[in-house]
């Protein structure tokens, strides 16, 4: 039997702290995703060929524009930093789903030390 809780206690110290996430920033990313879904199709970003390179390039374009003082993307009317965050989410999704550089990995020579455990093609490019 678990310990009894005292008044005002809750066993949640090992749980994710969702209260730390700035939801207003996440809403900005969702606005970017909605803009993209309306322009292309739902989750079309998952199908992009050479996604890692193209999302990295887009990430850097948005960061550069923001750094140069352009805060709002002229096409979408949304924040360049929100676009950048969205591109980082895309890159993370690709990494988690092991779809980064599949064409390069298939055609590359193995380089010792560059192996990623669990990678489908045993390469990290």
Domain contains 2? no
Half-sphere exposure of 17 (CA within 13 A, CB side): 4
Domain contains 89? yes
Domain contains 100? yes
Residue by residue, DSSP assigns 14-60 as TS--GGGS-HHHHHHHHHHHHHHHHHT-TTGGGG-TTHHHHHHHHHH
Domain contains 124? no
Domain contains 81? yes
Domain contains 1? no
Instruction: Give the pLDDT confidence of 54-86 residue by residue, as tens digits.
Output: 999 999 999 999 999 999 999 999 999 999 999
Domain encompassing residue 98: 21-37+48-107
Instruction: Give the pLDDT confidence of 10-21 residue by residue, as tens digits.
Output: 878 889 999 999
pLDDT-based confidence at 98, cuts 50/70/90? Answer: confident
Measured distance CA(73)–CA(28) in Å, rounded? 13
Domain contains 119? no
DSSP classification of residue 11: S
Give yes or no for residue 115 having a pLDDT over 70.
no
| Total domain count, the chain | 1
Q: What is the mean pLDDT of the chain?
A: 83
Domain contains 6? no
Q: Phi and psi dihedrals of 72, rounded to 5?
A: -115, 130
Give yes or no for residue 116 having a pLDDT over 50.
no
């Amino acid at each position: 039997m678990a310990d009894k809780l005292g008044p005002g206690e809750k066993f949640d110290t090992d749980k994710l702290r969702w209260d730390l996430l700035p939801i207003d920033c996440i809403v900005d990313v969702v606005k970017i995703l909605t803009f993209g879904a309306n322009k292309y199709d739902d989750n079309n970003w998952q199908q992009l060929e050479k996604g890692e390179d193209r999302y990295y390039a887009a990430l850097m374009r948005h960061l550069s524009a923001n750094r140069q003082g352009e805060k709002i993307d002229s096409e979408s009317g949304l924040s360049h930093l929100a676009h950048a965050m969205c591109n980082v989410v895309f890159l993370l999704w690709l990494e988690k789903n092991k779809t980064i550089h599949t064409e390069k990995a298939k055609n590359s020579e193995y380089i010792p030390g560059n192996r990623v455990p669990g990678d489908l093609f045993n390469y990290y490019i």
